[in-house]
Structure 1
């Protein structure tokens, strides 16, 4: 009933509460009804350390004090003493007294279907080209915008789950987009009818999801609990859950899951054990992989019981970040210790060490062809450079100096340029533009001085580059990809990423997969 009382009375009640109250008691009094027992989430997100790891302490304090606009999260600055707010914020960053658990039954019970997939109309309800839509993840207020890539104007904007992973995934035809939130929710959204189709909570902390190239499956990878969850892509019905552990029984968090379309398989990167997993979803595959406790055989018909039995590639270190060569025969991986390797997925072993040091961000790398050679290029999280590697010889071709440590590198088949940010350093407001023909920086642009500017995505034809001003409030800038001049700006709430349907489903060499 407190929410119905006048603000002045609420303030008076808050001032009567003793300072330095037990934070667990504060949670039960003020947070439990929305965020759930044991902080696992209910109508509001989970408040576990894993769920909050990307929030700075100041952001957590600000949310408790002032609430969140456009949500049901209230402000507590007038109800709680500041010392109690600080104690509560610290409490949320610690592990619960009882270990948080999430079972297959919990997953099944969480599923909500909003629209019968069998009754969805065959054509879009809007006039935009469905292959040239952009999906924009706005972290500032947990919303998603859908843009018409031809007019570069919004079609719709809707509220998302809390703290979406920046990289949504698409069905092969581009009709559906799948989102994963940090606290375990997977959402299927229909870009034809602009509505949610289904949602399901697959865990308490989820890294990301992958969609199979045949459009049948969604695979979610969790860090809490340490599981893989297989879902039917059409309606998100749970199919099977696999505990992630090595041959000795050691459990591991999932670092990421990927779809390797040419191989008709998922690739799973592990965070705590030196292994790389490959899970085939080809129903016609008949393969035997001898020599490992996880080996499996797939018959002519897809067996769900045998489906999540991975082909394991043993490694000599844990690889934290990854890049695939265009044929998906090789994984280029880097560890946090500064080592990088090339793993051949066919023979299941390392075939080369790579001259990559520091913290290369391979997951945001690009591939391109120039002068008859195939190259990959990656930014670096710890130094101002882009490293170019020859994909035939696995040798470093060049280190291109940039303005500072960068997170994203992006390009397109129809442009000779690659764009890289420096968002991890003092030049966070400036993008460097690299000529792929000369491997040199030819231009820098600072569209919004002093504001973090990063993550470029191109229109379907490569004519325009969309750039995020990652502030709240922020902007989505449209720049001409040839002249680098700004042609349009759209207000956004910290747009952490935007994704063009055509570029994603065709696996453009200039964007992440």
Structure 2
């Protein structure tokens, strides 16, 4: 017996069996295939924003305010390292998420049909802020008049992309990185429904009439369409017309005046438009732009893909105020080599690219804003690579000015009633603590707001534009309420890494200084 036991003992240099460790300690919450369960999916696509060293700390010490325990007292350092390496390995073959699995994941509170149709709290529902606290995965609902928290509740892991509201402001939809969509009743402070649209999701969009929700997936390569209560309606495979190539879906946004969803693809040089207007005219789902071509095949326009060929794929995009044009940009190739003419202007009516945008670096057009300047409409975009804001004339598509900032930024915001635009430098190691305030008429920097040593980002205005709220993007962070004219601090509310805050009025009315 002793000899048998001796033979069973591992040698000193034996490597830990990561899969066995995962099955023993992790699978019950994260799923045997790492696709998620009570805990989030543990796939490289889902963990893209979590550095490996931070992931190792979570395995060792757990995650505060969640059900994730620490395993530092159970596992050796090399075993934690092995688990960390495993969760950053892609699955092969790539996992799928079928229509049946989507349907099986759905939950719905039938009692929601009888809930009161008025807010069950005292505040202006149009001046409500939805604050996403990424530090401990919670949502805070903030009264935009008194600047007090009305309610706080837990969210899915790693919400990504701004929440989307129904036209009346009653319901909000949240999308998580690992594919969950949650419908929440803001007036009754309860979850209505949830569904898992995919395994790694980029963002969601809600139709202008509030009747449909579209999810853009990285994994699998699909778009998933739902009704307002998250009943699945249709899946779209993100492929070329002949099915020979598939793609991750970069982004989907609602184009309300067009009654359509507009979609960017990460790996295919096309932009799609999918109409949700039942009266949509027949379209030609081909790659030619001459709609009189006898070779094109007519299909009903409703919920079918209308494709526009591009010179290169778009990663994110912005609509001009008419919604006839998409302004989009790609990203450097996976090998780090830059692409030429990253910015493109696409006319959605004639289905072709009509201009390139003279923006260097990596413009973050999805966070761009528009405003009037000297009698013309202009776009101002932050930049993920360079410390500048580029201002573009929306008639000539020519650059008017580059405005220097302390470093690369992610978010830019303004308000129709504000003279100023605010931009962060959160992508900069040295200037991440600085907000730059730009006069929209002079196109000059007039002030800066700083939070020394911290990351300061993501401005959102109150409904009337009088106050600007900034995020101290730290675990022990805060929402800072600033006077939008004097830039002085009015109030500070502790928050756990408030990655974004969204004003109901500004979002549902598509206020010119906010994003889609």
TM-score by length of 1: 0.93
Aligned to 1:254: 249
User: After superposition, where does 1:108-507 map in structure 2 within 5 Å?
Assistant: 108-233=103-228, 235-249=229-243, 250-289=245-284, 291-292=286-287, 297-298=299-300, 307-336=302-331, 337=339, 339-425=342-428, 426-446=430-450, 448-507=451-510
Structure 1 residue 78 corresponds to structure 2 residue 81: no
Question: Deviation at 1:43?
Answer: 1.3
2:382 and 2:410 in contact (8 A); partners too: yes
Question: Deviation at 1:292?
Answer: 4.1
Q: Judging changes above 3 Å, is the alpha-carbon distance between structure 1 residues 41 and 351 closer, same or farther for their aligned structure 2 residues? A: same
How far apart are the structure 1 equivalents of 2:351 and 2:326?
Answer: 10
How far apart are the structure 1 equivalents of 2:357 and 2:198?
Answer: 35
Aligned to 1:40: 35
1:404 and 1:427 in contact (8 A); partners too: yes
1:432 and 1:445 in contact (8 A); partners too: yes
SS in 2 for 1:389: strand
SS in 2 for 1:394: coil
How far apart are the structure 1 equivalents of 2:485 and 2:253?
Answer: 32
Aligned to 1:303: none
1:107 and 1:203 in contact (8 A); partners too: yes
Which shifted more, 478-487 or 348-357?
348-357
How far apart are the structure 1 equivalents of 2:246 and 2:297?
Answer: 18
2:407 and 2:431 in contact (8 A); partners too: yes
Choose which of 78, 102, 106 in structure 1 pairs with 2:101. Answer: 106
Give deviations 1:156-215, integer Å, cap 9, x for gaps: 111000000141111111111101101110000011001110000011011111000011
Question: Deviation at 1:32?
Answer: 0.6
Q: Judging changes above 3 Å, is the alpha-carbon distance between structure 1 residues 476 and 29 closer, same or farther for their aligned structure 2 residues? A: same
Question: Deviation at 1:37?
Answer: 1.5
Q: Judging changes above 3 Å, is the alpha-carbon distance between structure 1 residues 41 and 368 closer, same or farther for their aligned structure 2 residues? A: same
SS in 2 for 1:504: helix
SS in 2 for 1:357: coil
SS in 1 for 2:264: strand
Question: Deviation at 1:226?
Answer: 0.7
> Aligned Cα RMSD in Å?
1.6
Aligned to 2:9: none
What stretches of structure 2 of length at least 5 have no aligned partner?
1-11, 289-295, 332-338
Question: Deviation at 1:116?
Answer: 3.5
Q: Judging changes above 3 Å, is the alpha-carbon distance between structure 1 residues 144 and 33 closer, same or farther for their aligned structure 2 residues? A: same
How far apart are the structure 1 equivalents of 2:241 and 2:149?
Answer: 50
Give deviations 1:447-467, integer Å, cap 9, x for gaps: x21000000000000000000
How many residues get paired? 488
TM-score by length of 2: 0.92
Question: Deviation at 1:78?
Answer: 0.5
2:184 and 2:192 in contact (8 A); partners too: yes
Give deviations 1:104-126, integer Å, cap 9, x for gaps: 10000000113544222111101
Structure 1 residue 65 corresponds to structure 2 residue 65: no
What stretches of structure 1 of length at least 5 have no aligned partner?
1-16, 299-305
Give deviations 1:266-314, integer Å, cap 9, x for gaps: 001101100000000111222333644996533xxxxxxx744211001
How far apart are the structure 2 equivalents of 1:319 and 1:465?
Answer: 31
